[in-house]
């Protein structure tokens, strides 16, 4: 069981649910400002379950995919992977991926039906769900994985940001508001920054294995500039939304995490040995998750 728990990479789950929390908090916030009953606990629970299953599916596919492409080897930094170490056979991992993908699909179908019933927009969300499953699997698994072509950042920005926040809000409220794009972009940029730290840490091994991440393509120096832009851009998007709302001091609670972001950036910019960035991966992921929680609480308490 411990090998499976390791393959699930439970420490990645908080980041996976961050966009769900923000989108749901937005629905609760708008509900307080109107006479409409928007927020649904059932939608929140099902969205969280679906997001967790999709993240676990992505982690399992990544474990197997990086092994098959030779990226997980003796030179990689971080915990040894399950398939790489032989703890989980390839066939067993494929069965687990199928089971997890099926559960994610079923959970997503129930979520969409509970939220929207049977309508034209239901089909749109079903397609988005299938795309999310495909993105979870094809990041590093199979032929021509998009993560090996430097497109992982785009996928994370979309699914952990725009689709995650705006999609969750729509499932609650059944309508869309343009200001949602600011917290959605903020969530996406900060999540992409987490992936960027991971890729900066692995730059040497990825380059040697033919994994052409954005970091490999642009080099360490430019990757640091890009990283600063992601983090500061994410915080500015959240701040811009609060400036538009500007209703309560509670809205600014998320700024408590600013010192942690600045300390993180300082350590990334001063880094000269990619392997030593490993602790910063966990720090940024937790800081991003805490920011999402505080941002959401600020919306609810305002």
pLDDT tens profile 72-114: 666 566 666 778 777 889 999 999 999 999 999 999 999 999 9
The CATH-assigned architecture of domain 2-301 is Orthogonal Bundle (1.10)
The residue ranges of every structural domain in the chain are 2-301
User: Mean pLDDT over all residues of the chain?
Assistant: 92
**At which residue do the structure tokens 């915080």 appear?**
235
CA distances from 248 to 275, 296, 297 (A): 42, 13, 12
Q: How far is CA 84 from the centre of its chain?
A: 24
- Contact criterion met (CB below 8 Å) for 259 and 282: no
3-state secondary structure of 236: helix
Spatial separation of the C-alpha atoms in residues 286 and 261, rounded to whole Å: 11
In contact, 281 and 198? CB cutoff 8 Å: yes
pLDDT in tens, 280-290: 999 999 999 99
Average confidence (pLDDT) over 32-61: 94
pLDDT at 214 over 80: yes
Predicted confidence at residue 2, as pLDDT, reads: 79
Residue showing tokens 């692995």: 202
Residue 12 has pLDDT above 80, yes or no: yes
pLDDT score of 247 more than 80: no
Q: Looking at 24-33, 140-149, 163-172, which range is the least confident one? A: 140-149
pLDDT score of 81: 73
Is the pLDDT confidence value at 21 over 70?
Answer: yes
């Amino acid at each position: 069981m411990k090998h499976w728990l390791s393959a699930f990479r439970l420490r990645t789950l908080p980041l996976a649910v961050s966009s769900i929390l923000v989108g749901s908090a937005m629905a609760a916030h708008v509900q307080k400002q109107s006479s409409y009953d928007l927020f649904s606990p059932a939608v929140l629970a099902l969205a969280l379950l679906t997001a967790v299953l999709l993240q676990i599916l992505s982690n399992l596919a990544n474990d197997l995919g990086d092994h098959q492409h030779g990226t997980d080897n003796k030179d990689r930094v971080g915990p040894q992977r399950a398939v790489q170490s032989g703890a989980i056979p390839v066939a067993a991992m494929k069965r687990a991926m199928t089971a997890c993908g099926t559960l994610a699909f079923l959970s997503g179908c129930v979520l969409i039906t509970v939220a929207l019933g049977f309508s034209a927009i239901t089909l749109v969300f079903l397609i988005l769900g299938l795309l999310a499953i495909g993105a979870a699997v094809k990041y590093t698994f199979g032929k021509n994985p998009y993560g090996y072509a430097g497109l992982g950042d785009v996928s994370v920005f979309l699914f952990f940001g725009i689709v995650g926040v705006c999609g969750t809000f729509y499932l609650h409220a059944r309508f869309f508001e343009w200001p949602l794009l600011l917290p959605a972009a903020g969530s996406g940029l900060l999540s992409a920054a987490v992936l960027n730290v991971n890729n900066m840490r692995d730059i040497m091994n990825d380059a040697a294995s033919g994994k052409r991440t954005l970091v490999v393509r642009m080099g360490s120096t430019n990757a640091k500039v890009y990283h600063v832009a992601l983090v500061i851009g994410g915080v500015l998007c959240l701040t811009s939304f609060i400036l538009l709302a500007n209703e309560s001091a509670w809205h600014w609670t998320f700024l408590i995490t600013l010192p942690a972001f600045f300390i993180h950036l300082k350590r990334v910019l001063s880094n000269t040995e990619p392997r030593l960035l490993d602790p910063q991966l966990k720090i940024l992921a937790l800081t991003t998750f805490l920011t999402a929680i505080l941002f959401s609480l600020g919306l609810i308490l305002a």
